[in-house]
Amino acid sequence: MSVSLVVFGLYFALVFLIGWLSLRKTDNADDYWIAGGELGWVLGGATMAATHTSAGTFIGTIGVIHTVGWSFGWLILSVPMGYFVMAAVLAPRFTRVRKLTLPGFIETRYDSKMARGVAAVIILVAATVYIQAQIVAGGLVANIVFGISPTQGMILFTLILLAYTVIGGMIAVVYTDFLQLVIMTAGILIAVPLTIRHLDGFTNLLDYAGAMNSLTFSWDGMPKMLLFTMGLAFFLGGVATPEKVVRLYAMKDMRTIRRGVLFTIVIVTVMILLVATVALGSIVLFPKLPTGDLAMPIVARAILPPVVGALLLAAITSAMMSTVDSLLIVAGSALSEDIYHTLIHPEATHERRLVVARVGIFVVGTVPLLMTLSGVSDGELVQFIVLLFTALMASSFFMPVIGGLYWRRANKQGAIAAMIGGLTTAMAWEALGPEGIDPVLPGFLVSGALLFIVSLLAAAPPASATDPYFSRARTVPES
Amino acid sequence: MNDRSLFDAIGDAGFIYWGLFVAFALIVVAYLVWMWRSER
């Protein structure tokens, strides 16, 4: 316990120090929302990687592989493929006009404040789902590290996150993300060899894992259609989720983006592969767990030396925090910039908008906590809550974003119909649809169909809105 | 003649485990080629 407290105490102290130093570097809205738009590829790629690597990775992936076997690991490939498409297809046109938020892009491309407001509301709804998953995982870790109840852990975790995000904005998030990525990488790089050594070598690890459970190395762990459509959700969500694409605006040019995204691909995928390897160890060592989500915290506690175990638990906490802080920034900007400043009070001063943003971030962080405490997501594996968020984002935004960048005829009516139709279809499918197909498939198809049909039924968008994305001129330099 | 079907072959535990690493390496190589072509 004492070693864990020291490691966590140091970690939290560093996070607060970064939040405080970032406050001093934040002069305007650009600084607060996109870190001034001047990030290089190391910080840009690191913040993207840290944002991606969440409790879904450290708790969720290992939990599902522990339950259904390695076939789920193949979904990992949707991560590099999604980022590849983001860098090669989305980024070159998306960054031609630099905005502060994804709804900001929607407004500019579709020449519609209403479309921007719809996008902002969707982000707020989906962020609530995602933050819940991270808070659930936070409670599990705090329970194991500090011996406090999961409920107390969830409250503690939320308060710490809100403190540094509200104070420091995106600059704080970028630098804490970097610190958190270093901790995650160190934690998993040390934990994997120790886990393998504990099982007398890598070959034994594979042999034992296969022998303990016949599903471990088979395609039969879950229905193939479900596996495929879950991969589709991660792929489409990987291309166009708001907390990731806004990082393209934070990087200074396309050359930086290409390198930064490569850095993200390598770090994230290797990290997930390493986590998945620990999952195999957990199948051997702890075949019967009340929930797969406990696998990683129990490995950290039971078989690793205290310092390494504490480091790994700090890594899990880092993964959660680096994702939620980014979600809070995105949700705060949706409230402050996309709803308050754009729709309610266009004349609001910079100071007033930052106050709204900070209050908004506090509210957006508190609502999922209250929902989690009231038992909304009881019994769900963390990874499946993460997957639902990804499916909602992909169903709402993939078509309006990619369609808006490559089909000049796409207009605001089509975009609004696509966002609302995609979201509601995915939510309805999740609640009422048959199991065995992830909601992203119907959500994505309905969104695409609505974008196409409704756009053709209404007038074409003004050339002044589409020209910046379809002409050769750039506002973000190539190199 | 190999009497194993393709389906049997890809069902092998070795393929299920190592195939994932190989597929990832191929994606990274494809990305590097695209990056190199973009910046030539």
The predicted-structure confidence for A303-353, as pLDDT tens digits, reads as follows: 888 888 888 888 888 878 878 888 888 888 888 888 898 889 988 888 888
Res A107: pLDDT: 94
Nearest to B27 among A70, A77, A273 (CB): A77
Whether B34 is in a domain gets the answer yes
Res A2: pLDDT: 72
What number is the average pLDDT over the span A56-62?
A: 80
Residue of chain B whose alpha carbon sits nearest to that of A260:
B35
Residue A475 has pLDDT above 70, yes or no: no
Q: Sorting pLDDT into bands at 50, 70 and 90, what band is A80?
A: very high
Does the distance separating the beta carbons of B35 and A217 come in below 8 Å? Answer: no
How many Å lie between the alpha carbon of B1 and the closest alpha carbon of chain A? 25
Query: What Cα–Cα distance (Å) separates residue A245 from each residue in A51, A91, A199, A238, A256?
Result: 11, 8, 41, 9, 14
Share of chain A above pLDDT 70, in %: 95
Helix (H) or strand (E) holding A246: helix A242-250
Segment of A35-44, A293-302, A308-317, A440-449 carrying the highest mean pLDDT:
A440-449
- Chain B residues with CB-CB distance to A258 below 8 A: 35, 38-39
Q: Sorting pLDDT into bands at 50, 70 and 90, what band is A29?
A: low
Does the distance separating the beta carbons of A76 and B31 come in below 8 Å? Answer: no
Residue A44 contacts residue A181 (beta carbons within 8 Å): no
Least confident of A89-98, A125-134, A228-237, A392-401: A125-134
Q: Enumerate residues 20 to 39 of chain B having a beta carbon within 8 A of any beta carbon in chain A.
A: 20-21, 23-24, 27-28, 30-32, 34-35, 38-39
Between residues A215 and A477, which one has the greater pLDDT? A215
Between residues A478 and A280, which one has the greater pLDDT? A280
Whether B1 is in a domain gets the answer no
Number of domains chain B contains: 1
Least confident of A68-82, A127-141, B24-38: A127-141
Residue A181 has pLDDT above 50, yes or no: yes
- Chain A residues with CB-CB distance to B23 below 8 A: 77
Res A479: pLDDT: 39
**Spatial separation of the C-alpha atoms in residues A76 and A64, rounded to whole Å:** 12
Share of chain A above pLDDT 90, in %: 30
How many Å lie between the alpha carbon of A71 and the closest alpha carbon of chain B? 7
- Chain B residues with CB-CB distance to A265 below 8 A: 27-28, 31
Residue of chain A whose alpha carbon sits nearest to that of B35:
A258
Res A77: pLDDT: 94
Residue A459 has pLDDT above 50, yes or no: yes
Output phi, psi for A79, to 5 deg: -70, -60
Res A242: pLDDT: 87
**Spatial separation of the C-alpha atoms in residues A233 and A211, rounded to whole Å:** 31
For residue A251, the cross-strand partners are A39
Torsional sign, CA A125, A129, A130, A136: positive
Whether B11 is in a domain gets the answer yes
- Arithmetic mean of pLDDT over chain B: 80
Does the distance separating the beta carbons of A262 and B20 come in below 8 Å? Answer: no
Whether B32 is in a domain gets the answer yes
Class of domain A2-366: mainly alpha
* pTM, two decimal places: 0.85
Residue of chain A whose alpha carbon sits nearest to that of B21:
A273
Res A39: pLDDT: 84
Segment of A89-103, A180-194, A352-366, A390-404 carrying the highest mean pLDDT:
A390-404
Does the distance separating the beta carbons of A219 and B11 come in below 8 Å? Answer: yes
Nearest to A273 by CA among A22, A76, A442, A31: A76
Name the residue range of residue B13's domain: 6-39
Residue A364 contacts residue A132 (beta carbons within 8 Å): no
Contacts of A144-151 with CB under 8 Å at 24 or more apart are A144/A297, A144/A298, A144/A300, A144/A301, A144/A313, A145/A4, A145/A8, A145/A310, A145/A313, A146/A1, A146/A4, A146/A5, A146/A8, A147/A1, A151/A373
Whether B20 is in a domain gets the answer yes
Whether B17 is in a domain gets the answer yes
Does the distance separating the beta carbons of B13 and A217 come in below 8 Å? Answer: yes
Structural domain spans, chain A: 2-366
Q: Sorting pLDDT into bands at 50, 70 and 90, what band is A86?
A: very high
Q: Sorting pLDDT into bands at 50, 70 and 90, what band is B1?
A: very low
Chain A residues at the B interface, defined by Cβ less than 8 Å, are 70-71, 73-74, 76-77, 80-81, 84, 87-88, 206, 210, 216-219, 255, 258-259, 262, 265-266, 269, 273, 479
Q: Sorting pLDDT into bands at 50, 70 and 90, what band is A376?
A: low
Nearest to B35 among A71, A217, A262 (CB): A262
Q: Which two tokens stand for residue A347?
A: 């004349």
What number is the average pLDDT over the span B23-32?
A: 96
Nearest to B28 among A76, A206, A265 (CB): A265
Burial of A298 (0-12, 13-18, 19+ CB in 10 A): middle
Residue A476 contacts residue A95 (beta carbons within 8 Å): yes
Q: How many helices (H) and strands (E) would you count in chain A?
A: 21, 0
**Spatial separation of the C-alpha atoms in residues A221 and A217, rounded to whole Å:** 9
Pairs across A and B, CB distance < 8 A: 55
Res A91: pLDDT: 94
Least confident of A113-127, A132-146, A382-396: A132-146
Does the distance separating the beta carbons of B32 and A76 come in below 8 Å? Answer: no
Res A478: pLDDT: 43
